[in-house]
Amino acid sequence: MEFGIKIGTPEKQRGACVVVGIFESKKLTDSAKVLDKVTQGYIKNILALGDMEGKMNTSLMLHNVPNTLFKRVLLVGLGKEQEFKEKAFLTAINTALSALQKTTATDAMLFLSDFSVNGRTNEWKAMQIVIAAISSGYRFDQLKSKPDNDQSSLRKIVLCIDDRTELTACEESLQQGMAIAHGMSLAKDLGNLAPNICTPTYLAKQAKDLAKTHKLKVSILEEKDMEKLGMGSLLAVAKGTEQPAKLIVLEYHGLGKKENPIVLVGKGITFDTGGISLKPAADMDEMKFDMSGAASVLGTLHAVAEINLPINVVGIIPTTENMPSGKATKPGDVVTSMSGQTIEILNTDAEGRLILCDALTYAERYNPKVVIDIATLTGACVIALGNFTTGLMSNDDKLAEELLSAGEQVGDRAWRLPLWDEYQDLLKSNFADMANIGGRAAGTITAACFLSRFTKNYHWAHLDIAGTAWKSGKEKGSTGRPVPLLTQFLITQAKAAS
């Protein structure tokens, strides 16, 4: 899909469709007023018929409106004006996109002045519209014998602003929004693939393809390489599967190589049965999404490279299946991590932290500015925060605030949970340096406490995306989160360093 930014008002534009907003009680927005004037009251006359009240989640398509250069005029309900905030804005945009996709319109024009959100700039609105538009057109049908034949005719969206001084900033935001959406699409594709296709070897190939496209440096560590490094924790998870484990490393150099990188570590369990601590059969198919952390790292690197951000980023992806077999790790086994710390594995279904801890130790060799790990780590996070908010824990207040701010900025929100020393006692073991679980209480926090024991030498944050990485039910599928949060964080870091 193409996107553009223009300066102008509705009466002088032409195209397949123009979108204007209507607030509740039939109140016209600025562009709607302009159209009503040039059409000699046509818009108000239509509203007087009662077909459109301006309520949220409603729209009305008008054809051949007199004295206009558009084939269609789409009226979109904005709800109550005093309640028009971020959520209402996104609802209105998605309502407009849904209506447009049901037509044969090939292009559409929106006027950002119609969608005034207190505290939000036109650059923010432009980015959100681009992400929403590309996301609304996303389909995953490559595994069907006959792909769905419901592709929209919409090919171009033009956003109009009335202040020429904002043009450059809006164009930059538009390009960033496109890159974020493309990164999300990559993450969605990887998450939605069947687990017999998206194996650790497949993820490694995708990393190589990404490196080739964007001229990144890629390294793939095999199991024998991990054995030499002493990654006993990661390899313990891989013992039960026939699929070889991989440690994928991608390096993006947008600055000189002497600049310390930001390291992203993504959990890549391509299928999680729970191992010997076997999960219930119901909904186990969704455990193909357990590599969503890995997918988000690849998606973020795709976005960063597309934007050509002046920043150095390293992506590290430990990836394996977690399967039950005669060779699988058992509850009660003790393994030695790359850091030299020993771990008593009380539950083989707490495997994500076992592969992450060795990857976090490996990250030290890059002398990172900060390290952020991303993982579908705990069901407890879903209980605590639901499916709307990512869990955030960190050993650095400044880093935590920067991530929270990035999430708020781009609409991919996180919430910080405590990481106090009192929780560390829950990981005590009689037979090793630590246990890999701390019981039912504070499960999300104790998982982060476990990881924190491997991150003492750098600034670190942990994102638990168990509730936000995918949707269940009728809309089952990957969400592409937290690619927006991570990319916005990196955009902000690059700006601060320039």
445-457 per-position pLDDT tens digit: 999 999 999 999 9
Question: How many other C-beta atoms can be found within 10 angstroms of the C-beta atom of residue 298?
Answer: 28
How is domain 2-141+151-161 classified at the CATH fold level?
A: Leucine Aminopeptidase, subunit E; domain 1 (3.40.220)
Catalytic residue among 71, 353, 413, 481: 353
């519209």: which residue's tokens? 129
Question: 63-83 pLDDT, tens per residue?
Answer: 999 999 899 999 999 999 999
The C-alpha angle 194, 195, 198, rounded to 5 degrees, equals 90
Integer Cα distance of 156 and 217 in angstroms: 34
Q: Where are the domains of the chain?
A: 2-141+151-161, 182-497
Question: 273-290 pLDDT, tens per residue?
Answer: 999 999 999 999 999 999
Two tokens at 46?
């239509």
Catalytic residue among 33, 80, 279, 416: 279
Two tokens at 416?
């910080």
Superfamily the domain 182-497 falls into: Zn peptidases (3.40.630.10)
Percent of the chain with pLDDT strictly greater than 90: 93
Two tokens at 374?
């991303």
Nearest alpha-carbon partner for 82 in 159, 27, 162: 27
Nearest alpha-carbon partner for 465 in 362, 404, 386: 386
| Residues 6+ positions from 304 with CB-CB distance below 8 Å | 179, 252, 254, 311, 313, 487, 490
Asked if 345 and 236 touch (Cβ cutoff 8 Å), the reply is yes
Integer Cα distance of 263 and 162 in angstroms: 40
- Segment among 4-13, 41-50, 81-90, 288-297 with least mean pLDDT: 4-13
pTM of this structure: 0.96
Confidence label for 60 from pLDDT (cuts 50, 70 and 90): very high
Q: What is the mean pLDDT of the chain?
A: 96
Nearest alpha-carbon partner for 493 in 256, 171, 214, 261: 261
pLDDT at residue number 498: 78
Question: 183-200 pLDDT, tens per residue?
Answer: 999 999 999 999 999 999
Confidence label for 146 from pLDDT (cuts 50, 70 and 90): confident
Integer Cα distance of 396 and 235 in angstroms: 29
**Distances from the Cα of 37 to the Cαs of 10, 286, 366, in angstroms?**
11, 54, 62
Integer Cα distance of 159 and 178 in angstroms: 14
pLDDT at residue number 81: 94
Mean pLDDT to the nearest integer, 115-144: 94
Catalytic status, residue 353: yes
Confidence label for 113 from pLDDT (cuts 50, 70 and 90): confident
Integer Cα distance of 112 and 123 in angstroms: 10
Give the three-class secondary structure for 74. Answer: strand
pLDDT at residue number 278: 97
